[in-house]
Structure 1
Amino acid sequence: MRITRKAVLASVATVSVLALAACSGSEGDTSTDDDNAGISTDTALNIAWNQPMSSFNGDSITGNATANNIITYMANSRFNDYNSDLELVIDESWGTYEVVSEDPLSIKYTYADTAKWSDGVAGSPADLLLEWAAQSGKFNNVEPELDAEGNVVNQEAVDAGIYFDAANPAVALITETPEIEDDSITLVYSKPYADWATALDNNLPAHIVAQRALGIEDPQEATDALVKAIQDEDPAALSKIAKVWSDDWNFASLPDDPQLLVTSGPYTITEFKEEQYLTLTANPDYEGDKKAVFDKVTIRYNGDPMGQVQALQNGEVDLISPQSTADVLTALEAIDTLEVETNVEGTYEHVDMQQANGGPFDPATYGGDAEKAKKVRQAFLKTIPRERIVTDLVSPLNPDAEVRNSYTQVPGSPMYDGIAEMNGQQEAYGEVDIDGAKALLAEVGVPAVQVRMLFDPNNTRRVNQFEIIKGSAAEAGFDVVPYTVQTDWGTDLSNATSFYDAALFGWQSTSTAVTEPDANFRTGATNNYYGYSNPEVDALFDELQTETDAAEQERILGDVEKHLVDDAFGVTIFQHPGITAYNPEKIGNVQKLGIAPTIFYGFWEWTAGDAASE
């Protein structure tokens, strides 16, 4: 067994697009059949992953999770992707884009002749127009209202109105309806935007959304009707389109309708057994540059890290990247036939708190007294033993591990030290302060508080962290208990907010865009599940959107983080240590990326080993 260590984040300037956690031809044994060029026929690969897919619409609020986006990464094409150096590379076999004007900022996207959905329909500007309509928020005129059980109580109003389950501040800067001309679409921003290249990309097939929403059978007629509905701002049609876009691609097992399985990339979904596995099969009609190496790739779901190790040893899976623990590393080191690599991942652990759910951290609980609620939050944060968590659970895997003190920056990145110094998190919560926590609770007259904490109960390290936090917080009068599971922890994070008061989980970075923390901390943004709202933070993100000077970007993000600390939003804990292990007889050229899609990165460059044949 060869064990190597890689610091995969060392060159990242900033990594901050976040999803819920958990460029060349193939060198594999490929068929010479022209109809299957680049596909290793009769080869199969099994990969273990910790969380099942729940939505094929990763650009929705509900579907924004790494477990979903690793599937769409392999199944759909995009205008660009990151390479191994975290540089954006255009996929010209899907299309190209160019800046056609700096003032106003105007980007023209042009679809390639090889851009095609798996049902044979060409990729078109309508696909990007639909994503603009969905993510800009321009047409939304109603919001779901939830009861204490997480159920929508105004469903009739939502059905009658227009609600796209998305919120993208960057796309909201494109205020005018994009213009379509032949195979091109031009997006015009209302003001300069630093990260326009990652703001919008291919997602769902517009023709199928239109067919399902508008009841039109012919794909071209349906597409034309969708384009007209958006251009005319037709409320009746947009209401139907929004509902289909938001709901129809949310599935946790193989849907009966094959329309929902249409993809634009090298793979299609052919099997999906709920909570067990999902199989991707190479699309023989794919004409792009990222040809599939393996005929079949099956993702087998197992949330137990040691269970993944056992499955790898038994030959049930061929590639794993389980949550790293000392026991996992020791077990892998004992298996002679594996390739094993340790690294630092693009995921960071943190605790956030609900501020609008009627719980102990919500001002409404104290008659609207925001200062009182903030002091209760501060008291709780003072009890979280961040240093002990790192020492006990992370340092055995990464001797250089340290407490992460930035909400937006990876330790070691250029802006990290400056922003961590500016935000004051280390000063406020660097050491456990039980006496300080007790004093704050006494000051506001709340001597005992129950905190329902959301975390993955199947994740060993999270369970260990919970127990450490619970024991420490109890010394100050907090009774920390596991939240009541409604669906699963990932879905409940956004959809069952009344059932938990604090959340312990990881954000998986998916991009290096400097503006992307916007989605976590802006009022009402995609990843802001907690009711947090600070107009000054919103204004700072407005400023950041147009700022291209690195020093000014650092100043702005430092100010944002200072507000987060002052408002007792939550605390960051550590950057995840990582382990990747695989069977070299089955797969080669595994290139784990420091950001999502991690081990799935560069699947078109994998090599199929001699043992990969089915």
Structure 2
Amino acid sequence: MPVTEWIQRTHTSRREGRPRRAVVGITLAVVAAATISCGTEEERVHSIGYAIDNTVTSYNANTVDGAASGARQAFTRVLPGFGYVAPSGDVVSDTDIGTATAVPGDPFTVQYRLSPDSVYSDGVPMSCDDLVLTWAAGSGRFTAPDESGAPVNVFDSSLRGGYADIDRVDCQPGSKEATVVFKGGRGDTDWNTLFGATELMPAHVASRQAGVGDLVGAINGNNLDEVRRIADFWNSGWSLTPGEFDPALFPSAGPYRIESYSTDGGLVLVVNERWWGNAPGTDRIVVWPRGTEMAAAVDGGQIHVVDVGAGSMSDAHQVVGAVESATVVSRNLEQIVFATRGVFENPAARRAFALCVPRTQLFDELGASGEGSGFATGPVSSRLLPTDSPLYPQTAGPAERYLQPDLEAARGERTASGQERMEVRIGYLGPDDRRARTVELIAASCREAGIDVVDAGSDSFVPSKLGTDVDAVLAGTAAAAGSGGTAEMDLARAALHSGTGSNIGGFANGRIDEILDALLVAGDQQAVAGLVGDGERILWEEMPTLPLFVQPRSIGFASGLAAGVANPTTAGSGWNMDRWILTE
């Protein structure tokens, strides 16, 4: 199906009245038709290569650095959940894993039932233990003092949102059923985004590696000593390094499992023999992330699907030109995230920098391209609403001051921050041609305002370096280096909350926390409009981040590949890789 078709078809959101890309039924129909019409087994290519513009350094896409990595794009069909992010950016139920049924009332309750056949590739059944672990990590309820004495989550979790609104998860260890009970008055309107693809990690592995016999009992019994041991493994035990792979730590609950990982061979996914759903269409998917020999794979004709930021990777450009590709406007917000200490401790310093950034020039040169470009016709004015929301135009007012550089005002804000001159190190995952050009244009514009900009991009950059090695991060939604974003803006909003790991800049504002919490349960446009209006006024004054433009992405599929459907969201275009079939 042409990319333009699913971009243009819309329906109405019940909560914000915003257009959505109604692709789910269309996509499934196309997948089914493509699968039926494909050629004989002898004509099929048995290995499909998939190139992405991010690193894959962890199996756990829920830690701070794991969420910013390409783990979600690599493992959506390795670690599925109760839902997945469709090309529209909306979450769709995945009934292969199980069902989730809301029970109206207060407290709001959801009954989860895993498929009776659900089992990990190591033979251990999926269970409600997996949900309990996900909730514990994202809820923020388990804390310990940091160096300053402030309580912090013992789990290095990027998650929050509705997980913090859950009061308890009733689970008999090993059971296929869980009852999730929310706190009183916290019936989250987007509860179906919880426990989704890549969020359910194998609890039995964490329990075994932590030496905790009863994970559910430890969590529900608030046994902090045992929970900290579980968290220590959850935080770093699922790290992935090419050439170092222990299959016992990485069981799969999806149609594919990891077979190997190396720089010269890529991240190899093969059919999970214990998968209970429809068999994958292709035996082997090789993910080629940054840090692998992608260029050699391109030269060898081993890459058939590409999903990268437009203008970002020279290696990927070669294959983008060789496959059927399109530049597509995504759900990913290109932005600058500021540290709230060091040079940017004073909000006036952050405003000074924002006032010298040529946002309109950046959009015109780097953001205004691709199919569906009417989806975002200028620099982004909101951090809380998607640009296709009917409420979005109302957010433009506070952002107007920052459309064009105002060097005199920038110098005034810099002086007000108490700094005669500022040096700003901007970090990003490189090499990245588009982001290098972004930094170059910003540096040229800001120099006259007394702000010296240093390009601190590197091939080993991770967002957790913000505040130490760099002063600002140039990245996508929630600091993602590659694909990012959803239609509901849940990841973008959570990254502004003081209690969320993905808030890498350490921004804290009590009123913003209240607004973000209220948006989780807001049920009508009027309520959303009021909350967003208040929020944007504060955010453009405090400036924890500077929105630039909606990121365009180059997505390509080899000729003859069936069921290839672009997904310019956090899931990436590998969202349905188990349906891919390539014929020669």
TM-score, structure 1 as length reference? 0.81
- Aligned partner of 2:154 in structure 1 is 163
Alpha-carbon distance in structure 2 between the residues aligned to 1:282 and 1:418: 48
Alpha-carbon distance in structure 1 between the residues aligned to 2:571 and 2:43: 22
Out of 343, 347, 350, the position equivalent to 1:360 is 343
Out of 573, 579, 584, the position equivalent to 1:605 is 579
**Runs (5+) with no aligned partner, structure 1:** 16-22, 33-38, 147-153, 216-221, 363-372
- Aligned partner of 1:218 in structure 2 is none
Out of 65, 71, 82, the position equivalent to 1:68 is 71
- Aligned partner of 1:413 in structure 2 is 389
- Give the direction of change, closer, same or farther, for the CA distance of 1:86–1:379 in structure 2 (3 Å limit): closer
Out of 339, 344, 350, the position equivalent to 2:335 is 350
Alpha-carbon distance in structure 2 between the residues aligned to 1:271 and 1:568: 43
Deviates more, 1:511-520 or 1:541-550: 511-520
- Give the direction of change, closer, same or farther, for the CA distance of 1:597–1:334 in structure 2 (3 Å limit): closer
Is 1:189 the equivalent of 2:182?
yes
Q: In 2, are the aligned partners of 1:383 and 1:437 still within 8 Å (CA)?
A: yes
Write out aligned runs for 1:386-535 (5 A).
Answer: 386-395=359-368, 401-421=377-397, 424-426=398-400, 428-483=401-456, 488-489=460-461, 491=462, 493-507=463-477, 508-513=483-488, 515-535=490-510
Q: In 1, are the aligned partners of 2:142 and 2:154 still within 8 Å (CA)?
A: yes
- The Cα of 1:474 is off from its aligned counterpart by 0.4
Q: Give the 3-state SS of the residue equivalent to 1:186 in structure 2.
A: strand
Q: In 2, are the aligned partners of 1:455 and 1:462 still within 8 Å (CA)?
A: yes
Alpha-carbon distance in structure 2 between the residues aligned to 1:247 and 1:379: 37
Write out aligned runs for 1:123-522 (5 A).
Answer: 123-143=126-146, 145=147, 163-166=154-157, 167-180=159-172, 182-190=175-183, 191-201=186-196, 203-214=200-211, 222=213, 225-274=214-263, 277-289=266-278, 291-302=279-290, 312=298, 315-325=301-311, 338-356=323-341, 359-362=342-345, 373-395=346-368, 401-421=377-397, 424-426=398-400, 428-483=401-456, 488-489=460-461, 491=462, 493-507=463-477, 508-513=483-488, 515-522=490-497
Is 1:51 the equivalent of 2:74?
no
- The Cα of 1:334 is off from its aligned counterpart by 11
Alpha-carbon distance in structure 1 between the residues aligned to 2:428 and 2:343: 18
Q: In 1, are the aligned partners of 2:113 and 2:177 still within 8 Å (CA)?
A: yes
- The Cα of 1:177 is off from its aligned counterpart by 4.6
State the AA in 2 paired with 1:175: D
- The Cα of 1:606 is off from its aligned counterpart by 2.1
- Give the direction of change, closer, same or farther, for the CA distance of 1:208–1:478 in structure 2 (3 Å limit): same
Alpha-carbon distance in structure 2 between the residues aligned to 1:526 and 1:608: 40
State the AA in 2 paired with 1:360: V
State the AA in 1 paired with 2:156: D
Q: Could you list the per-position Cα deviations for residues 406-426 of structure 1 after superposition, in whole angstroms to 9, with x for gaps in the alignment?
A: 1133333322212234xx112
State the AA in 1 paired with 2:427: L
- Aligned partner of 1:149 in structure 2 is none
- Aligned partner of 1:368 in structure 2 is none
Q: In 2, are the aligned partners of 1:309 and 1:331 still within 8 Å (CA)?
A: no
- Aligned partner of 1:562 in structure 2 is 537
Alpha-carbon distance in structure 2 between the residues aligned to 1:552 and 1:332: 48
Alpha-carbon distance in structure 1 between the residues aligned to 2:418 and 2:466: 29
- Give the direction of change, closer, same or farther, for the CA distance of 1:606–1:517 in structure 2 (3 Å limit): same
Alpha-carbon distance in structure 2 between the residues aligned to 1:539 and 1:469: 33
- Aligned partner of 1:35 in structure 2 is none
- Aligned partner of 2:25 in structure 1 is none
- Give the direction of change, closer, same or farther, for the CA distance of 1:316–1:419 in structure 2 (3 Å limit): same
Alpha-carbon distance in structure 1 between the residues aligned to 2:260 and 2:535: 44
Q: Could you list the per-position Cα deviations for residues 67-94 of structure 1 after superposition, in whole angstroms to 9, with x for gaps in the alignment?
A: 0111220211211224445554322222
- Aligned partner of 1:18 in structure 2 is none
Alpha-carbon distance in structure 2 between the residues aligned to 1:392 and 1:593: 23
- The Cα of 1:5 is off from its aligned counterpart by 4.8
- The Cα of 1:437 is off from its aligned counterpart by 1.4
Is 1:8 the equivalent of 2:7?
yes
Q: In 2, are the aligned partners of 1:142 and 1:163 still within 8 Å (CA)?
A: no
Q: Could you list the per-position Cα deviations for residues 473-496 of structure 1 after superposition, in whole angstroms to 9, with x for gaps in the alignment?
A: 1011111112385x822x2x1245
Q: In 2, are the aligned partners of 1:3 and 1:340 still within 8 Å (CA)?
A: no
Q: Could you list the per-position Cα deviations for residues 255-289 of structure 1 after superposition, in whole angstroms to 9, with x for gaps in the alignment?
A: 44322121100111111115872111111221124
- Give the direction of change, closer, same or farther, for the CA distance of 1:233–1:318 in structure 2 (3 Å limit): same
- Give the direction of change, closer, same or farther, for the CA distance of 1:460–1:249 in structure 2 (3 Å limit): same
Deviates more, 1:513-522 or 1:3-12: 3-12
Q: In 2, are the aligned partners of 1:3 and 1:341 still within 8 Å (CA)?
A: no
- The Cα of 1:596 is off from its aligned counterpart by 2.3
Alpha-carbon distance in structure 2 between the residues aligned to 1:348 and 1:472: 22
Alpha-carbon distance in structure 1 between the residues aligned to 2:63 and 2:380: 29
Alpha-carbon distance in structure 2 between the residues aligned to 1:484 and 1:581: 26
Q: Could you list the per-position Cα deviations for residues 232-269 of structure 1 after superposition, in whole angstroms to 9, with x for gaps in the alignment?
A: 32233222212112220122225443221211001111
Q: Give the 3-state SS of the residue equivalent to 2:438 in structure 1.
A: helix
State the AA in 1 paired with 2:387: P
- The Cα of 1:130 is off from its aligned counterpart by 1.6
Q: In 1, are the aligned partners of 2:129 and 2:171 still within 8 Å (CA)?
A: no
- The Cα of 1:353 is off from its aligned counterpart by 1.4
Q: Give the 3-state SS of the residue equivalent to 2:361 in structure 1.
A: helix
- The Cα of 1:179 is off from its aligned counterpart by 4.0
- The Cα of 1:6 is off from its aligned counterpart by 6.1
State the AA in 2 paired with 1:183: K
State the AA in 2 paired with 1:168: R
- Give the direction of change, closer, same or farther, for the CA distance of 1:179–1:301 in structure 2 (3 Å limit): closer
RMSD across aligned positions (CA): 3.5
- Bigger Cα Rg: 1
Q: In 1, are the aligned partners of 2:140 and 2:499 still within 8 Å (CA)?
A: no
Alpha-carbon distance in structure 1 between the residues aligned to 2:68 and 2:36: 31
Deviates more, 1:589-598 or 1:40-49: 40-49
Alpha-carbon distance in structure 1 between the residues aligned to 2:247 and 2:315: 41
Alpha-carbon distance in structure 1 between the residues aligned to 2:509 and 2:320: 51
- Give the direction of change, closer, same or farther, for the CA distance of 1:65–1:288 in structure 2 (3 Å limit): farther
Q: In 2, are the aligned partners of 1:53 and 1:67 still within 8 Å (CA)?
A: yes
- Give the direction of change, closer, same or farther, for the CA distance of 1:502–1:525 in structure 2 (3 Å limit): same
Alpha-carbon distance in structure 2 between the residues aligned to 1:570 and 1:390: 17
Deviates more, 1:444-453 or 1:310-319: 310-319
- The Cα of 1:329 is off from its aligned counterpart by 13
Q: In 2, are the aligned partners of 1:266 and 1:282 still within 8 Å (CA)?
A: yes
- Give the direction of change, closer, same or farther, for the CA distance of 1:332–1:7 in structure 2 (3 Å limit): farther
Q: In 1, are the aligned partners of 2:271 and 2:283 still within 8 Å (CA)?
A: yes
TM-score, structure 2 as length reference? 0.85
Q: In 1, are the aligned partners of 2:82 and 2:195 still within 8 Å (CA)?
A: no
- The Cα of 1:40 is off from its aligned counterpart by 10
